[in-house]
Amino acid sequence: MTNSMLRKMRPTFIYALLGIIFMLAAPSVLQLFTIINLTTAIALSVLALSLALIWGYGGILCFGQVAFFGLGAYVYTISAINFGGSTWAILVAIIVTSAFASALGYFIFYGRVSDVYLGVITLTVTLIFFSLIRRTSGPEYKIGNALLGGFNGVSSPPINLPWNSASFLFPEQVFYVAMAALIICYVFVGWLVNTKFGRVCVAIRENELRAELLGYDIRAYKLGIFTIGAGIAAVGGVLFCNGVGRITPDIFNLYNAALTIIWVIVGGRGTLIGPIGATFALFYVTSALGGQSVFNNNLVLGIILIIFVLLVPKGVAPTIIGWASARQKKSQRRVRRRRRAEGTR
């Protein structure tokens, strides 16, 4: 790592450090129930992070990021049941999901499908997963020893210590694993967007034609970032089915697909911490809404999405950063003016 990259990554390290402090402090402060809930929120924020990468930095409008999340969860569950342990299952989940994403991405990016189409195609893939897996309720739908279970889903075996399938992790330990995975993914993505690869992806987001005329194969770059994003989403999926204890086809429904988009819009495209923060915030809003029946979740999310698209299209984090830097500039200018005035006196 060069010095300039370290400097650019300073905020990333600060947030990661805060995350580590939170990880160490939370179990001794919070109740077990909250910790289990937090594990789910962490898993979802890994999903948000993956979309923040490919949409916010790669400019790829993927409406079906939750498909990779759900696929990762399903592959993990099925292979953990078959292997009788989670070590290889986690790897298989990430590899299979990335492979699926790169196959889908090949058709999309090498067909030069434009962004509006891309969103709709990825959404369609998600919905097809939803309707396909719902139908797999009979005993004939099984992969190895794992029944797919249709509408009811499959219960996921918990993560165990590496190569020791007898020692399952307790919910509190799963929380540590989840938080560590989130921090690692966050630092990884923060590093990735500052590498040459990441900067080319941002260039492509800004202007595809120019990037291509400069000699970059935009199809390959897009496919690359899309595949990496899917792999990160799969990590989230593995954590999610561990937090919840089972995986059902409902993960692929329209509501969850919309939710993923909303996290990134509310948090802000082009930042990483924004979508993660928005995930935690909205997770608590929706769980609070679940306790009452006046306002339905769909209603509230719909209004949030419309309001943000119309009024705060940049999202919360970039808007705040914008204000902050505008104020900073203003005060700098004021200081400079004052100095100049003092100098002339």
Partner 1 sequence: MDLIVAVLFQLIYVISNLALISLGLAIIFGMMRVINLAHGEFLMLGGYTVVVATNAGINIWISMLILAPLIVGVIGVVVERLLIRWLYGRMVDTLLATWGLSLLLVGIVTSLFGASTGTTVSPPLGVLRIGEYSASGYEFFLIIVTILLLFGVWLTLRFTKLGLLARGTMQNAEMASALGVSTSNIYMITFGLGAAVSGLAGGLLAPITGVLPTIGATYIAKAFITVISGGAAILAGTTAGSILLGGINGIFSFIAGSTFGEIALLLAAIILLRLMPKGITGRFFRKSL
Interface with partner 1 (CB under 8 A): 61, 63, 104, 107-108, 110-117, 119-121, 123-125, 127-128, 130-132, 135, 253-255, 258, 261, 265, 295-306, 309-310, 313
Question: Which residues are CB-neighbours of 60 under 8 A, at least 6 positions away?
Answer: 54, 115, 118, 222, 225, 226, 229
Compute the least distance from the CB of residue 3 to partner 1, in Å: 37
Query: Closer CB to partner 1, residue 207 or residue 298?
Result: 298
Shortest distance (Å) from residue 16 CB to partner 1 = 30
In whole angstroms, what is the distance from residue 251 CA to residue 184 CA? 24
- Distance in Å, CB of 304 to partner 1, minimum: 8
Nearest to 300 by CA among 269, 264, 262: 262
Beta carbon nearer to partner 1, 121 or 317: 121
| Cβ-proximal residues to 201 (8 Å cutoff; 6+ apart), any chain | 57, 58, 59, 193, 221, 222, 225
Among residues 160 and 271, whose Cβ is nearest to partner 1? 271
In angstroms, give the least distance from the CB of 130 to partner 1.
8
Instruction: Tell me whether residue 172 or residue 217 sits nearer to partner 1 (CB atom).
Output: 217
Q: Smallest Cα–Cα separation from 59: which of 99, 128, 109?
A: 109
> Which residue, 104 or 244, is less far from partner 1 as judged by CB?
104
In whole angstroms, the minimum distance from the beta carbon of 100 to partner 1 comes to 12
Residue whose CB is less far from partner 1, 19 or 275: 275
Whole-number Å distance between alpha carbons of 259 and 68? 14
Report the nearest approach of partner 1 to the CB of residue 105 (Å): 11
> In the chain, which residue ranges form alpha helices assigned H by DSSP?
3-8, 10-29, 32-51, 65-83, 87-110, 115-134, 171-192, 196-206, 208-213, 218-244, 254-267, 273-290, 297-311, 316-344
Query: In the complex, what is the shortest distance from the CB of residue 124 to partner 1, in angstroms, rounded to a whole number?
Result: 5
Helices (H), 58-114: 65-83, 87-110
Closest by CA to 156, choosing from 77, 272, 100, 53, is 77
Residue among 132 and 326 whose Cβ is closer to partner 1: 132
Q: Tokens representing 235?
A: 């990590």
In terms of Cα–Cα distance, which of 40, 45, 42, 10 is closest to 23?
42
Tokens of 286: 């929706």
Give the nearer residue to partner 1 in terms of CB position, either 35 or 67: 67
Whole-number minimum distance, CB 123 to partner 1, in Å? Answer: 7
